[in-house]
Structure 1
Amino acid sequence: MNSISYGDLASSLKNMRLTSQVKQNLERYNYEVASGQKSDLREAVSGDFTPLASLERSIRSLGAYSSAVTEAELFTSSLQSVLGAVSDQISDASANLLAVSDMDQPMTIGVMARDARGKLDSVVSVLNTRVGGRALMGGAATGSAPLASSNEMMAEIEALVLGEVDAAGVITVVDDWFNAVGGGFETNGYLGSQNDLTPFALNENQRAAIDIKADDQSIRDTLKGLVLASLVNEGILEGDLSEQRLMLRSASETLMSSEVAITTARAHVGTIENTISEVKMANSAEGYVLEMAKSEIVSADVYDSAAFLAQTQAQLEMIYTITARLSRMKLSDYL
């Protein structure tokens, strides 16, 4: 019975193809063990990359929203701190001014008026706070301070009240400066934008709109109350203690009203903070689900890959061993 065998050249080509295939398998399993991902994604998705592309697009979008959520968190927490600092200042000032407005003691009145002037400086400075290079309370104009300095505002108002002879006249001038349409505050005091800050995009469906600005009525009243008390410190109606006391009482009442409004504003910011926190958690959960779905497609079974890797290494070593032995064969060894 005749047998059919490969010739030397055919055997050599067959061995070369086998060796090449084993080496490719070795690279494949090495990659899968090292990366934890399948080396042939086309095979993994059966040639249809649409689901994988959709998952990756959603994951990238969540990554972008994550940055916006972080920025929104920083902005709102900083704004909450600013409003808290303002509230602390006016709470202290309103109580002290109310108490001193019933006293007939020029020295005590002077001390409280001077304290109000210092608080005005502090409040304006806090309201001009910038975080990450962005002004918090200038609306859409985040590149510059939303308020003129306390010295600039005081200088303009002092010039306007110099001719007034009683507290009622001073209070009217100050009220007009802060509240009249096109008045001093709108033209020279508030330097921010009339437009609100662009809402933060938290995900595809939710936005965080922060509409608190330094021209809000609560801020105007805060500044107005502190300015009224500060004018006493600057010597307005000096010598007329009863009229100065009326100014301080008006300042105290204005600050009490603004404190309530600022508390309401802080509650509003707190609601936005809570929304941001909830969306952050939802985005995180969605991201986890998407990553798991992607992993189901692209992840390799590392244990199987490691077993195949060991098997392939042994196979390659066997090929090299046989090849080495064949290369050393001589006819004289068999004669």
Structure 2
Amino acid sequence: MNLRSIGDMAQAFALNRQSVNLKQQMDRLTVELTSGQAADLTQHLSGNLLHLADVEHALVLQDSHRTAAREATVDATTMQTSLGFIQSLASDLANSAITVGFGSGGVPLSTLSTEAKGTLGSIIGALNTDVAGRALFSGSATDSTSLAPADQVLDEVRTAIVGATSAVAVLSELDTFFDTPGGAFETSIYQGGSSDLSAYQLGDGESVALDIRADDPVLRNLIKQTVLAALVDDPGLALGTEDRRALARSASEALLTQQDGLTALRADLGVAEARIDQSSTRIGAEITSLEIARNDLVSIDVFETAADLEQVQFQLETLYTLTARASRLNLVNFLS
């Protein structure tokens, strides 16, 4: 009986090792052919990964700018919608208030008061708008509601003007309440931050600020006039009918005047929206360019890879054939 020699064992080990190497090559080439990218980037780029690292870093940076631009787009659009809604409400209320006291076709004080209370609630609701939990009109205090509820506003103003005995006195108390620095409006009604929201960073030194707060003078005066219209029929006021009508007319005139201010706010916001849109286009183009550059660095020649894969498959099949023949020869030697 013949025993397998050391040479046979060495040959078997060599064939097995070559088989493992060929299988690994085939797996790598299959992955590369499927993905279109080199599996071993270090080898593919001859060890020079610096340029690829620069491109990938730039992609990460531009992706953060794209995220900021998307947030800015949503925030600006939502703010524009809120301001448009507020402007429409203010216009409607002004038109109602201006007809108070004009015969049978005029709006009664009680009706105006009811409408104004509803308008106040809607205005405050619009200014308390948030996106993903971030208050839009609260400046830097994005985690705080911009304004106190409408009922609280009315209660505090009612307390402030209860002693007024003329329309002029009521207007004076309202001015004190809303316009005094550090006064009731700033300490009790406005609940946002005293500084603006940080600008959105959009790359290439470009930034966009959406810095409209609920305590903006235009919006503050709008709230003041709406509150005035809401309280013209309040039984706690020691005023006659003419004084109440005078207050309604004053509110109407001021609300109409604030239309220009609201239009200016919306126009400024529109400019910001246009800049955000331009930046979004630029960022998208830069990301596309960087992705092309990255693909050029990591991509492989699919035709060459397919040919290499076919060659490896042929080598593996040949190796299996040789291994099978060697096994049969060894069996014959063993049996002879």
CA distance in 2, matches of 1:238, 1:112: 18
Q: Give 1:16-35 correspondences, 5 Å limit.
A: 18-35=18-35
Q: How far does the alpha carbon of each residue in 1:165-188 deviate from its partner, in whole angstroms, 9 at most, with x for none? A: 221111111122111222221121
CA distance in 2, matches of 1:13, 1:182: 88
CA distance in 2, matches of 1:315, 1:164: 102
CA distance in 2, matches of 1:77, 1:263: 15
Q: Which runs of 5+ in 1 are unaligned?
A: 1-6
- Aligned match of 1:278: 278
Q: Give 1:15-94 correspondences, 5 Å limit.
A: 15=15, 18-94=18-94
CA distance in 1, matches of 2:143, 2:8: 81
How far apart are residue 59 of structure 1 and its match? 0.9
CA distance in 2, matches of 1:74, 1:106: 41
Q: Give 1:156-167 correspondences, 5 Å limit.
A: 156-167=156-167
RMSD over aligned CA atoms reads: 2.4
- Aligned match of 2:205: 205
Alpha-carbon spacing, 1:204–1:262, altered in 2? closer, same or farther (3 Å): same
Give the counterpart letter for 2:280 in structure 1: K
How far apart are residue 319 of structure 1 and its match? 1.5
Q: How far does the alpha carbon of each residue in 1:16-56 deviate from its partner, in whole angstroms, 9 at most, with x for none? A: 56545433321221121122211231232222111000011
CA distance in 2, matches of 1:239, 1:12: 111
CA distance in 2, matches of 1:165, 1:15: 109
1:295 aligns with 2:282: no
How far apart are residue 310 of structure 1 and its match? 2.1
CA distance in 1, matches of 2:44, 2:78: 48
Q: Which runs of 5+ in 2 are unaligned?
A: 1-6
Contact 1:178 1:185 survives alignment (8 Å): yes
How far apart are residue 109 of structure 1 and its match? 2.7
Alpha-carbon spacing, 1:329–1:105, altered in 2? closer, same or farther (3 Å): closer
Alpha-carbon spacing, 1:255–1:173, altered in 2? closer, same or farther (3 Å): same
How far apart are residue 306 of structure 1 and its match? 2.2
How far apart are residue 296 of structure 1 and its match? 0.6
Q: Give 1:2-13 correspondences, 5 Å limit.
A: none
- Aligned match of 1:4: none
CA distance in 1, matches of 2:248, 2:217: 20
Contact 2:135 2:144 survives alignment (8 Å): yes
Contact 1:177 1:185 survives alignment (8 Å): yes
Give the counterpart letter for 1:39 in structure 2: A
Q: Give 1:70-219 correspondences, 5 Å limit.
A: 70-103=70-103, 108-219=108-219
Contact 1:117 1:233 survives alignment (8 Å): no
Alpha-carbon spacing, 1:159–1:17, altered in 2? closer, same or farther (3 Å): closer
Local SS of the residue matching 1:177: helix
Alpha-carbon spacing, 1:107–1:24, altered in 2? closer, same or farther (3 Å): closer
Alpha-carbon spacing, 1:283–1:267, altered in 2? closer, same or farther (3 Å): same
Contact 1:102 1:245 survives alignment (8 Å): no
TM-score, structure 1 length as denominator? 0.89
Contact 2:145 2:192 survives alignment (8 Å): yes
CA distance in 2, matches of 1:157, 1:126: 20
CA distance in 2, matches of 1:232, 1:139: 32
How far apart are residue 57 of structure 1 and its match? 0.7
Contact 2:147 2:191 survives alignment (8 Å): yes
- Aligned match of 1:234: 234
How far apart are residue 13 of structure 1 and its match? 6.7
Contact 2:96 2:107 survives alignment (8 Å): no
CA distance in 1, matches of 2:107, 2:281: 56
Q: How far does the alpha carbon of each residue in 1:281-330 deviate from its partner, in whole angstroms, 9 at most, with x for none? A: 11111111111111111112223322321221122101211221232137
What is the aligned residue count?
Answer: 327
Q: How far does the alpha carbon of each residue in 1:184-230 deviate from its partner, in whole angstroms, 9 at most, with x for none? A: 21121211111001112222522221110011011111111111111
Q: Percent identity?
A: 34
- Aligned match of 2:4: none
Alpha-carbon spacing, 1:39–1:162, altered in 2? closer, same or farther (3 Å): closer
CA distance in 2, matches of 1:110, 1:216: 29
- Aligned match of 2:319: 319
Local SS of the residue matching 1:144: coil
Contact 1:162 1:236 survives alignment (8 Å): yes
Local SS of the residue matching 2:329: coil
Contact 1:232 1:238 survives alignment (8 Å): no
Using the TM superposition, name which of 195-204 and 81-90 deviates more.
Answer: 195-204
